[in-house]
Amino acid sequence: MHQPATTHAEMRPRGTRRVALVTGAARGIGAEIATRLSRDGYRVVVCDVDVEGARRTAEGLAGDAIAVTADVSDAAAVARMAATVIAQVGDPDVLVNNAGVISAAPFLELAEAEWDRIVRINLKSQYLCAQAVLPGMRRHGWGRIVNIASDAGKTGEPFIAHYCASKFGVIGLTQSLALEFAGEGITVNAICPAITDTHMMDQLARQMEGSAPAPSGGWRKAFVDEIPMGRAMRPSDIAEVCAFLVSDAASAISGQAINVSGAHEVH
């Protein structure tokens, strides 16, 4: 059921820079997104559980970028982080829910604790962070949320059932929030990358070696061989799409799960 706007929009003063909060931004895709948004003029808040990594990313951006630390899968930690951000730079106008983890295991050997960890970090964190920033977006009558999902959130894969389930959930969350806040100047979209050239790709390749016999050339090569375009995705591929989705040019795009997959996923 679609809900109408219920709050009066208090638009930011003309010329005020928008604030972008990026989670999981110490390295990889998150760091690349933070860098791209900083280049576009956003005041970037770099959030990560890795304190030193978050600081390194922030120090490489415009001089007024800040770093905050939080376990974004923990409600109390997210509340503290949001309060700190609001006190220091104001309400986030943009939220990029990028924090995520992956692991591989045969399903019958998948421990309950590992299922819970993956779902908590990949899915629950996005619910918590969105809930923390949406009141401010509603007050200002403008907001952009981009949830980093995966093409494994559209088509399941063996040995990563828990990861796939979490990313399918991200897409469902994205669609629901897009519909609920569509009348309030807020868009919510997801990006679904295929295998991306980051530390997580190497981590997954190592874990797959313990789950299934490695194909000729090893798992890393096998991942890339599945991509019709013939290469892994680059963090910059995802960052460019994110930059568009948070811009005013994308104001009519909401509720979408956009593949960045080199044609690996076409639905």
SS3 103: coil
**127 noted as active-site residue:** no
DSSP track, 172-197: HHHHHHHHHTGGGTEEEEEEEE-SBS
Contact 32, 236 (CB under 8 A): yes
Cβ-based burial of 65 (10 A; exposed 0-12, middle 13-18, buried ≥19): buried
CB 137 within 8 A of CB 93: yes
Query: Is the CB of residue 220 less than 8 Å from the CB of residue 202?
Result: yes
Could you tell me which of 176, 142, 178, 141 has the C-alpha nearest to residue 253? 178
24 vs 36: CA distance, rounded Å: 15
Backbone φ, ψ for residue 65 (5° rounding): -65, 150
How far apart, in whole angstroms, are the C-alpha atoms of residue 215 and residue 119? Answer: 28
Residues pairing with 179 in the sheet: none
By residue count, the chain amounts to 267
Q: Which of 142, 163, 181, 223 is catalytic?
A: 163
Q: Tell me which H or E stretch contains 236.
A: helix 235-245
For the annotated catalytic residues, the residue numbers are 163
